[in-house]
Amino acid sequence: MKRRSFITLLGGAVAWPLGARAQSERMRRIGVLMPLPENDPEGQARARVIQQTLHELDWTQGRNIQIEYRWNGTPERAQTLAKELLALSPDALMATTTPILAALLNETRAVPIVFVNVTDPVGTGLVASLARPGGNATGFTNFEFAIGGKWVEALKEVSPSLGQILVISDPRNPVWQLFIQSIEAVAPSLGVKVKPVGVRDAAEIEHAIVDFAREPHGGLVVLPEPITTTHRALILALSTRHRLPAIYSVVSFAREGGLMSYGVDTIDLYRRAAGYLDRILHGVAPSQLPVQQPTKFELVINLKTARALGLTIPPTLLARADEVIE
């Protein structure tokens, strides 16, 4: 046998199993419905961690998996975008807020759904229980409502003269009233009055904060909503302009100039949710995967912003901080 022919045959023998494997490896499709605009840095960070985690689990975009994103899944658009994703015949879906999960469940009770950043899925009737979710959806919650009281306590520590707080939320979210209740349960013991306000767009956010800032000794509690995260630059600018101490639930607020944030590590939740997607793609049913609650919370304090507001952060609060921004 000629040497060239031998090499050709040998190369074919080596390449055949790889080619056969590539042909047998079926492309999987995942639909992800995001609540933020596509150009939002926070949304892009969440998308990156989904793809990176799946890559570490041997799912490579374009080779054996195709991740389809739909962005800006506001309550008005969520149902339309859910229909778009279902039309792609996905093997699994990811829901990233409570309203988005509800929209996807309205469209399918068959395609597996992994959710993240969902509050009280049992109370809202989206799963049967945490241990046994049943149906086609499971995933990761973001908050227990009792955290609302902790937000007020932390804000009062930073600003002892605090007499009233504006609580900013999206009234289209079915769980926001339960956060308000937990805040109102704690506020009177701290000598703080609570003013809840629902906002749906940038104009309503600006009107609410400007109107509230006319009264002295005020502060802000900004609830975890896509509408507040999307417009965080506006909220941060208004709180600075009107010298309002504020606490947020998403860490990007504090890192981008907000006074402080206390909440779940959102990126960690997305990473864990990608792990659930991997298990589902390997054949595990969503009903066999318990809904998990957050295990990691972060207190982030921005000292530069505190100094600009003329506030002194108590040493006891600084000692509890997971991150201090100088």
pLDDT in tens, 166-222: 999 998 887 788 889 999 999 999 999 999 999 999 999 999 999 999 999 999 999
Instruction: Give the DSSP letter of residue 98.
Output: H
pLDDT above 90 (res 45): yes
Band of pLDDT at residue 163, cut at 50, 70 and 90: very high
Average pLDDT over residues 102-122: 95
Band of pLDDT at residue 33, cut at 50, 70 and 90: very high
- Which pLDDT does position 176 carry in this prediction? 83
| CA atoms of 157 and 154, how far apart (whole Å) | 5
Class of domain 147-265+298-325: alpha beta
Half-sphere exposure of 14 (CA within 13 A, CB side): 5
What is the chain's mean pLDDT, rounded? Answer: 90
pLDDT above 70 (res 14): no
CATH code for the part of the protein at 27-143+266-295: 3.40.50.2300
Average pLDDT over residues 300-308: 96
- Which pLDDT does position 225 carry in this prediction? 87
Neighbours of 237 (CB within 10 A): 14
- Which pLDDT does position 272 carry in this prediction? 96
pLDDT above 90 (res 296): no
Are 239 and 258 in contact by the 8 Å Cβ rule? The answer is yes
Residue 109 backbone phi and psi in degrees, to 5? -120, 20
pLDDT above 60 (res 60): yes
- Domain locations in the chain as residue ranges: 27-143+266-295, 147-265+298-325
Q: Which residues pair with 220 in a beta bridge?
A: 166, 246
Is there a shared CATH topology between the 27-143+266-295 domain and the 147-265+298-325 domain? Answer: yes
- Which pLDDT does position 76 carry in this prediction? 86
Are 79 and 22 in contact by the 8 Å Cβ rule? The answer is no
pLDDT above 80 (res 300): yes
- Which pLDDT does position 18 carry in this prediction? 41
Average pLDDT over residues 95-113: 96
pLDDT digits (tens, 9 = 90+) for 134-158: 999 999 999 888 899 999 999 999 9
Q: Hunting for tokens 């790889």 — which residue is that?
A: 18
Are 280 and 247 in contact by the 8 Å Cβ rule? The answer is no
- Which pLDDT does position 74 carry in this prediction? 87
- Which pLDDT does position 211 carry in this prediction? 97
What is each CA distance from 44 to 55, 85, 239, 282, in whole angstroms?
16, 19, 25, 26
Region for 118 from its dihedrals, namely left if φ exceeds 0, alpha if ψ lies in -120 to 50, beta otherwise = beta
| CA atoms of 118 and 226, how far apart (whole Å) | 12
